[in-house]
């Protein structure tokens, strides 16, 4: 009887592990095969070799790029190089990125930038919010952009217990924002376990100096976040849920879920075209390749465009796909004046003419 019970327990555990493994592979699109679909006028951006994880663009064409991210479980091509914020003027004929100088007193040695968001105040002051992971912790750094000398003045560092694993951010004012936590746990082994088990414990948090609160939850891995041009709706990428969640934003900054749009890719960052409201998504067509990073089977890149996100039948268009031979691990796609910028977690960046 004891042996039969032991066999039954082993069988149940085996079935459970098998079910979790299948779910894990599905969430990573591990079995997905894809063929390159490239645009005719694309060029690698010289000067970006170690990542361009997030890109935000001002109305005047100045593009801010976070570069040099070191992220648990993801390869880094320059593990000893500190992170940086780059600037490109997209109105130039042949734009080149330059590093923005950061004011004295800021710890540059441990700078590890992730998601970024720009905010223009009523007096035209430009603020840059940067998710930072110094020593694999999570902070949000607030800077003021000084265009005259291409510099960032560090204003403050934001830490909070409700912001343990911040991935991305969208600014709402000079000192408030929504942020996504992409993991519940912060210890690496528990992060792997959380991902394998498919726990839906990640969330979105609202932060201001006066109030910090959870405003949305139940994601496998809350990743990119952005807001509609009219400020009425918030979009959240559930990377391992293979979906975009649409929320209505209220005056008290709470969020009400409206709908979920499934996509067949692991969505990273979300950019919103200010003129059309279209969503541009940087995606990982097979995130298993991103995690394993086999030189013989490189991680690919994918860009999706969503038109009519609030309509009954949004149109999802595959704009660009690469098998890793040009760029690896696309994390963001952003547009300006018929130009498409594609950034990556740890690799190069691409500029295409649409």
Which residue ranges make up the annotated binding site for Ca(2+)?
A: 53-54, 116, 167-168, 223, 268-269
What is the C-alpha to C-alpha distance for residues 301 and 350, in angstroms, rounded to an integer? 11
How far apart CA 228 and CA 97 sit, in angstroms, is: 27
Which CA distances in Å does 285 have to 105, 232, 268? 40, 30, 11
Q: Is 114 a catalytic residue?
A: yes
Closest by CA to 195, choosing from 66, 314, 63, 290, is 290
- Which residue ranges make up the annotated binding site? 53-54, 116, 167-168, 223, 268-269
Residue 309 φ/ψ, nearest 5 degrees: -60, -30
Task: Give the separation between CA 310 and CA 348, rounded to whole angstroms.
Answer: 33
CB 263 within 8 A of CB 243: yes
How far is it, in rounded angstroms, from Cα 49 to Cα 52?
Answer: 8
Give me the sheet containing 126-132, strands edge to edge.
Answer: 101-102, 151-158, 139-146, 126-132, 113-120
* Residue written as token pair 């109105």: 91
β-bridge mates for residue 85, sequence order? 66
DSSP string, 140-205: EEEEEEEGGGTEEEEEEEE--TT-SSEEEEEEEETTEEEEEES-S--SHHHHHHHHHHT---EEEE
Q: Which two tokens stand for residue 299?
A: 């991680």
∠ Cα 218 219 221 (to 5°): 150
Report residue 79 as tokens.
């593990």
Q: Measuring CA to CA, how many Å separate 93 from each of 41, 59, 90, 238, 285?
A: 14, 17, 8, 36, 32
Element (H, E) at 284: strand 279-284
Query: What is the Cα–Cα distance from 6 to 277, expressed in whole angstroms?
Result: 58
Catalytic residue, chosen from 114, 133, 183, 347, is: 114
Q: Among all residues, which ones are annotated catalytic?
A: 114
């Amino acid at each position: 009887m004891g042996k039969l019970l032991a066999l039954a327990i082993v069988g149940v555990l085996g079935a459970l592990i098998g079910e979790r493994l299948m779910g894990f592979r599905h969430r990573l699109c591990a079995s997905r095969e894809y063929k390159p679909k490239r645009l005719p006028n694309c060029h690698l951006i010289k000067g970006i070799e170690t990542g361009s994880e997030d890109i935000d663009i001002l109305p005047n064409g100045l593009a801010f790029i976070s570069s040099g991210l070191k992220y648990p479980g993801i390869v880094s091509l320059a593990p000893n190089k500190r992170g940086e914020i780059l600037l490109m003027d997209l109105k130039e004929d042949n734009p080149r990125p330059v590093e923005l100088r950061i004011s004295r007193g800021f710890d540059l040695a441990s700078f590890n930038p992730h998601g970024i968001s720009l905010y223009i105040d009523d007096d035209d002051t430009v603020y840059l919010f940067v998710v930072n992971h110094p020593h694999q912790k999570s902070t949000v750094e607030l800077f003021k952009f000084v265009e005259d000398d291409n510099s960032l003045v560090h204003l403050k560092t934001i830490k909070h217990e409700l912001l343990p694993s911040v991935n991305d951010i969208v600014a709402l004012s000079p000192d408030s924002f929504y942020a996504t936590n992409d993991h519940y746990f912060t210890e690496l082994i528990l992060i792997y376990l959380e991902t394998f088990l498919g726990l839906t414990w990640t969330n979105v948090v609202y932060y201001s100096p006066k109030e910090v609160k959870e405003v949305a939850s139940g994601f496998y891995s809350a990743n990119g976040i952005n807001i509609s041009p009219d400020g009425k709706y918030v979009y959240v990428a559930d990377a391992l849920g293979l979906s975009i969640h649409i929320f209505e934003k209220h005056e008290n900054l709470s969020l009400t879920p409206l709908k979920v749009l499934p996509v067949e890719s692991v969505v990273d960052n979300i950019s919103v075209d200010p003129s059309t409201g279209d969503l541009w998504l940087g995606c990982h067509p097979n995130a298993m390749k991103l995690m394993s990073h086999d030189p013989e089977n490189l991680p690919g890149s994918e860009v999706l465009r969503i038109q009519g996100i609030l309509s009954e039948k949004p149109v999802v268009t595959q704009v660009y796909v690469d098998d890793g031979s040009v760029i690896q691990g696309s994390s963001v796609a952003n547009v300006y004046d018929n130009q498409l910028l594609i950034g990556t977690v740890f690799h190069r960046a691409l500029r295409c003419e649409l």
